[in-house]
Amino acid sequence: MESISRTKIVDLLKREDFGAKVNVKGWVRTRRGSKQVSFIALNDGSTINNVQIVVDNEHYDEELLKVITTGSCVSINGTLVQSHGKGQAVEIHANGVEVYGSADATTYPLQKKGHSLEFLREIAHLRPRTNTFGAILRVRHHMAFAIHKFFNEKGFFYLHTPIVTASDCEGAGSMFQVTTLDVNNPARTEEGAIDYTQDFFGKSANLTVSGQLEGELGAMALGAIYTFGPTFRAENSNTPRHLAEFWMIEPEVAFNELKENMDLAEEFIKYLIQYALDNCIDDLNFLSEMYDKELIERLKFVIEYDFVRLPYTEGVKILEESGEKFEFPVYWGADLQSEHERYLVEKHFKKPVILTDYPKEIKAFYMKQNEDGKTVRAMDVLFPKIGEIIGGSQREEDFDKLSKRIEEMEIPMKDMWWYLDTRRFGSAPHSGFGLGFERLLLFVTGMSNIRDVIPFPRTPKNCEF
Ligand code: 4AD
Ligand code: MG
């Protein structure tokens, strides 16, 4: 076959130089036709849209044509032709066909259309070949890019915080341990405890649950930083909103107080949604049509209106007076469940809500304590369909108050000396938050299970590949 340089389908579909000789390569979505002519719908992942290839059967070997079935991979030379077919501007009239890889029609798992998302989760190695996951993965890419673009435009520096760490940021104790000790026969101290001085790092180490603590070190030197990396939580929560491995974006800004922190969070999330509407509309329209008819409207709605900002205490009052039957009880001091969060957002305010000033007992040690002695300057951003999408706070910058809180919560002080040094030397007010990347993607794509917005989900009892 003549060598012609390849055009991606996304670019080809925009071309108008009819008559040009072109080459496309990709995976066959469908092939239909008659004895004389075949119509191949070809997709190469560059766009949700396929290009139609018209093949004059009589010019090709029957054996060759036989293996061009759904899922096979082909290279096509041909002429670019204006199409009269519905929904497509161009097509290719083939004059050269090469098959790279066949896909046996009797065993290829994606032979038929319309598989359930549950089934596709079981063949996560092949699901990127479906329209749905192609769309989701392209949106995921564009959102990651937009995150870096947003912070770069605002003069934030991307800080790479460690994945293996000796500290527990959220103090929740749900960490994955990292060790080179022999788990069947670990080194032991004279008292019989595991001797971590013999471990790789000379102490016990874990996968990080958050880059925040190290992020604060960066903010106290560079002024404004963000992290964007994988985080790991060994919580046994088998819900459509939890992963054991997820990605988090954590900006941290010196001199910002809670108000500026909320402003940043709102501006950030609106920027990302606008970016998706501007750059991913073909994929979003497809997802909307397939899974969530109100998706585009919901995205536009979030951009248009100011988020409600409300203290936790008032939020709880609204919930108590709502007359709504909740599965989990609601009272001052309760950690809000997603049913409570969604009631406030979807039923009461019908807008995203930023809830602030939570009871200190249900929040992490690092949050700035309010004058009332009961609450901390926390902020959770609550979204329709999702519940909590962002968690953050102003940080306690006072050395004495922070040390006292660390003691009260029985966090080993000796492990925190480096963190406390930021309060010992040149302390400053500062704030930050964490956006769960997959929660953002749930919102932007309209999908309802978090396992469907990450290429290789890790959840309890699930670690394929
Ligand atoms: O509220 P979280 O636990 O806050 C922190 O980790 C802070 N250190 C962030 C900061 O202030 N820098 O987590 C932040 C966000 C949540 O709002 C949620 O969107 C997401 O991370 N998240 C999860 N996403 C998927 N699976 C899980 N298991 C998640 N846990 C938290
Ligand atoms: Mg949280």
Any alpha helices (H) in 258-398, and if so which ranges? 258-279, 281-291, 295-304, 312-320, 338-342
* Tally of CB atoms within 10 A around 87: 7
223 CA → ligand 2 middle, Å = 24
Residue 397 CB–ligand 1 contact under 6 Å: no
- Ligand 1 atom 21 nearest Cα: 436
pLDDT digits 0-9 by tens, 352-390: 999 999 999 999 999 999 999 999 999 999 999 999 999
Please give the share of the chain, as a percent, with pLDDT higher than 70.
Answer: 99
Rounded to two decimals, the pTM is 0.96
**In this predicted structure, what is the pLDDT of residue 113?**
82
Q: Is the CB of 392 under 6 A from ligand 1?
A: yes
Assigned token pair, 81? 């032709």
Strand 90-101 versus strand 73-82 pairing type: antiparallel
Whether ligand 1 lies within 6 angstroms of the CB of 249 is answered as: no
For residue 245, what is the DSSP state?
E
Identify the residue whose C-alpha is closest to ligand 1 atom 19: 436
**C-alpha dihedral sign at 303, 304, 310, 314:** negative
What is the C-alpha to C-alpha distance for residues 323 and 398, in angstroms, rounded to an integer?
41
- Give per-residue pLDDT as tens, 18-48: 999 999 999 999 999 999 999 999 999 999 9
Confidence of residue 413 (pLDDT cuts 50, 70, 90): confident
CA of residue 380 to ligand 2 center, whole Å: 7
* 290-336 confidence digits (pLDDT tens): 999 999 999 999 999 999 999 999 999 999 999 999 999 999 999 99
Question: What is the pLDDT at residue 173?
Answer: 64
pLDDT of 247-304, one tens digit each? 999 999 999 999 999 999 999 999 999 999 999 999 999 999 999 999 999 999 999 9
pLDDT at residue 15, as a whole number: 95
How are beta strands 245-254 and 224-232 bridged, if at all? Answer: antiparallel
Contacts of 116 (CB under 8 A, 6+ apart): none
pLDDT at 168: 74
Q: Which residues are CB-neighbours of 412 under 8 A, at least 6 positions away?
A: none
Nearest residue by C-alpha to atom 30 in ligand 1: 242
Q: Is the CB of 170 under 6 A from ligand 1?
A: yes
Q: Hey, what are 412's tokens?
A: 């080993």
- Kindly report the protein residue whose alpha carbon is nearest to atom 6 of ligand 1: 210
Q: Ligand 2 mean position to 416 CA, how many Å? A: 21
Q: What is the rounded CA–CA span in Å between residue 367 and residue 312?
A: 15
Q: What is the pLDDT of residue 181?
A: 96
Alpha carbon 222 to its chain centroid, in Å, reads 26
CA dist 289 and 286 (Å) reads: 5
* Ligand 1 touching residue 390 (CB < 6 A): yes
The phi and psi torsions of 151 (rounded to 5 degrees) equal: -70, -35
Average pLDDT over residues 138-158: 98
CA of 379 to the centre of ligand 2 (A): 9
Identify the structural domains of the chain with CATH numbers, from first to last: 9-101 (2.40.50.140), 127-174+209-452 (3.30.930.10)
**Which one-letter DSSP state was computed for residue 113?**
S
Q: Is 442 in the pocket of ligand 1 (CB under 6 A)?
A: no
113-117, 208-212, 363-367: least confidently modelled range: 113-117
Q: Quick one: average pLDDT of 187-201?
A: 95
Q: pLDDT grade, residue 172 (50/70/90)?
A: low
Average pLDDT of the residues of the chain: 95
Distance 389 CA to ligand 1 centre (A): 8
Rounded to 5 degrees, what are φ and ψ at 47?
A: -155, 160
Tell me which of 246, 379, 386 to substitute to probe ligand 1's pocket, judged by most ligand atoms within 8 Å of the beta carbon: 246
Alpha-carbon distance 191 to 168, whole Å? 25
pLDDT given at position 112? 86
DSSP 59: G
